[in-house]
Amino acid sequence: MTERPSYILFITDQQRYDHLGCNGHPVLKTPNIDAIADEGVTYDRFYVASPVCMPNRASLMTCRMPSSHGVRSLGIPLSHDNVTFVELMRAAGYDTALIGKSHLQNVTDWPHKLDPQEPRDGFAAPPDDLAVAIRSDLDNGTYQYEREAFFEDETAEVPLPFYGFDKYVAVTRHGFNTGGDHARHVRTTAPDAFAQRGRTNQFAHDYTCPQAIRTKVPEEQYSTSYIADRTCEFLESRRGNPTPFLLMVSFPDPHHPFTPPGKYWDMYKPEDMEIPSAYTADDWDAPDYVTIAEKNRAADPSLGQMSGYSVAVSAREAQEARALTCGMIAMVDDAVGRIRATAQEYGVTGNTVQIYTSDHGDHLGEHRLLFKGAEQYDSLTHVPFIWADPKGESGKRSSDLAQTHDIGTTILEHAGIEGSIGMQGEVMAVAGGAGRDAAHIQYETQRTQEAFGVRPRVHSIVHGRYRLSIYLGPCRNELFDLENDPGEMTNLWDSAEHATVRAMLVETLAEMEIAAVDRVPLPTAEA
C-alpha cells in the first residue's frame, strides 16, 4: 500500500479573495502564502457556502449546505448528529488536530436577537416544550465548549474528540480579546500582557475607522503567534511518526476588530490603499441597504464600534480598514512561513498537501460598507483557495468553480476515504473530480433589519459570468454581470435585455435548492 498523504489546512477568518499577493493585491505582500500557490493550484473562482462564520465552517466540516447541516445562521451550534469529514479521516486511521478557531459552537454568552413571538388574543400558547416545531438539545452541556463561561474554570477541558479532532487548542473570538486556551496561556505566562488587553488600554492613534484598536498586546502574545507556536510544537512532535495526519490551522484574523499588533499596525498606510469605486461613481444607484446604512451612521457616528454587521463608512475609513487588514494578513503570512519551515525541518512536507482558504470576506469599503451582512457581493462570498500537493501540479491557476463544502469531499477523495451518504460537496479537479457548474450560497441571520426585514434570508448562485440573489423579504432581488461589471454596481434584475438569463438562473437556483434538500436520514423500510 502506498504511503497515505497528510494534510495541513490553513484557514483565516474574513479574508477576501483579492487580499493576497498571488491574487493580485497591488500593495500587500504575502510571500509565504504565495509560495504555497507556486507549489500548487490556485483557484480564481472559489466561493463560500455561506458568507458568515458558523454556517460556512459547519459546511467545511460536514461537506453540506447550511439548510442541510442546520447551522443556517450565527447562533446555532453544529449538532453532533452531523458526521464530519474529520471523523471519517480519524476512523480511517488519521491523527487529527485543530489549532485555533473552531466556531462550530457559540462563543459568547449574549442572548439571541430573535424578536419574541407573542400569542394572539384568545389563542392558547403552546407549552415551552412544544413551542418550536422541531425538538433539539442544542443548548445542552455538549454545545457549551466555546463559550466564555466554559473557560472561566481554569481546569475545564474540552472533551475529545471534538467533532473528530483528537487534539484541539482553542482560540475563540478575535483580535486582542481572544479567549479559550490562548487567553489561559497569556494570563498565566504573561500576566502583564494580559492586563494590556481591551479597548481602553490601547495606544493612542488617529484612525477613525470603526473597531480600529491599536492594542498594547505584544506580537509574541497575540493569537496569530500563539497559533503558530502551538502548530510548530505539533509538527515537531511528528518527527519519525509514520501515521498520516490532518492538521487544521485556524487563524481568527483578519476579522475585525482591526488590531494588528506591534510593527504590523503601521506596516501599510491608508493612503496607499485603493479607494473603492462606489465613492467616486457619480451615477451609482445605491441600493436601499446602502442608503439606510448611511442614514443610520449619520444619525449615530459611533455605529459599528461593536457591530458585526455591515456599517456605512467614509472613503478614508475604508482605506484605514484596508491598511489594518493588510497588516493582520501580513502577520498571518509570517506565521504560515514559520509553520512551513518547521514542517520542512521535521520532515513532514514530502507527502503533505498544504491548503489555504478563508471562511468569508469583508466589504472593506466596497459599496461604501464595512464588515459583512445580508448583502451578497463578491467581496463577501469569494475567498482564496490554494491546493499544493507535492505530487501534483505546481504554479497553476484554475478557473473552475468550487466551494467551501467541496474541501472535505476533495480531501477524502484524495486520501482514498469514502464519504458519508448525504454529503453534498463536489470533488475538485485537484483530486480528479469534475467540479461544479454553479456555486450555491445560503445566508440567514437573526436580526430584524430595516432593509431586509424579519430574520433576513437570501440564497444566491454564481453561474458563468453572472451572480443572482433572491431575498426573502423587502430587499430587491439582484442580478449582476461579473464579467462586464466586476464591481457589481449595476443591478440587472429588471433589465428586459437580461430576462432570459434571469429566468435560466432562477431555474438553476431552484434545481440546486432541490438538490440541497436532505436525503438523510435514510428510510428504515420500504414503507
Q: What is the mean pLDDT of the chain?
A: 96
Residues 491-517 have a mean pLDDT of 98
User: What pLDDT, on a 0 to 100 scale, did the predictor assign at position 346?
Assistant: 93
- Give the whole-number percent of the chain exceeding pLDDT 90: 92
Cell triple for residue 389? 500537493
User: What pLDDT, on a 0 to 100 scale, did the predictor assign at position 444?
Assistant: 97
User: What single-letter DSSP state applies at residue 190?
Assistant: -
Q: Give residue-wise pLDDT tens across range 184-243.
A: 999 999 999 999 998 999 999 999 999 999 999 999 999 999 999 999 999 999 999 999
Cα of 242 vs its chain's centroid, Å: 32
Residues 397-423 have a mean pLDDT of 98
Q: Give residue-wise pLDDT tens across range 74-111.
A: 999 999 999 999 999 999 999 999 999 999 999 988 88
Q: Which secondary structure element, helix H or strand E, spans residue 467, and what is its range?
A: strand 466-472
Residue 307 clears pLDDT 70, i.e. is over it: no
Dihedral Cα 392, 398, 401, 402, nearest 10 deg: 30
User: What pLDDT, on a 0 to 100 scale, did the predictor assign at position 175?
Assistant: 86
- Give the whole-number percent of the chain exceeding pLDDT 70: 99
Residues 467-482 have a mean pLDDT of 97
Please, which residues have CB within 8 angstroms of residue 61's CB and are 6 or more apart in sequence? Answer: 78, 82, 84, 85, 86, 104, 163, 164, 408
Residue 366 pLDDT class (50, 70, 90 cuts): very high
Residue 248 pLDDT class (50, 70, 90 cuts): very high
Residue 344 clears pLDDT 50, i.e. is over it: yes
Which residue ranges form the domains of the chain, and what is each CATH number?
6-109+141-437 (3.40.720.10)
Please, which residues have CB within 8 angstroms of residue 139's CB and are 6 or more apart in sequence? Answer: none
Cis peptide before 26 (omega within 30 of 0): no
Q: Give residue-wise pLDDT tens across range 269-288.
A: 999 999 999 999 988 999 99
Residue 474 pLDDT class (50, 70, 90 cuts): very high
Amino acid, single-letter form, for residue 515: A
Residue 5 clears pLDDT 90, i.e. is over it: yes
Residue 1 clears pLDDT 60, i.e. is over it: no
Q: Give residue-wise pLDDT tens across range 32-59.
A: 999 999 999 999 999 999 999 999 999 9
Strand stretches in 378-437, DSSP E: 385-388, 396-403
User: What pLDDT, on a 0 to 100 scale, did the predictor assign at position 2?
Assistant: 64
Residues 245-259 have a mean pLDDT of 98
Cis peptide before 127 (omega within 30 of 0): no
Residue 279 CB burial class (10 angstroms; 0-12, 13-18, ≥19): middle
Residue 308 pLDDT class (50, 70, 90 cuts): low
Q: Give residue-wise pLDDT tens across range 126-180.
A: 999 999 999 999 999 999 999 989 998 888 999 999 999 999 999 999 988 899 9
- Calculate helix-pair angle for 315-345, 31-39, nearest 10 degrees: 60
For residues 60 and 325, give the distance between their C-alpha atoms in angstroms, rounded to a whole number.
24
Cα 353-356-359 angle, rounded to 5 deg: 135
Residues 466-490 have a mean pLDDT of 97
Instruction: Please provide the distance, in angstroms rounded to a whole number, between the alpha carbons at the two ends of the chain.
Output: 43
User: What pLDDT, on a 0 to 100 scale, did the predictor assign at position 306?
Assistant: 73
**314: closest CA among 339, 334, 294, 287?**
294
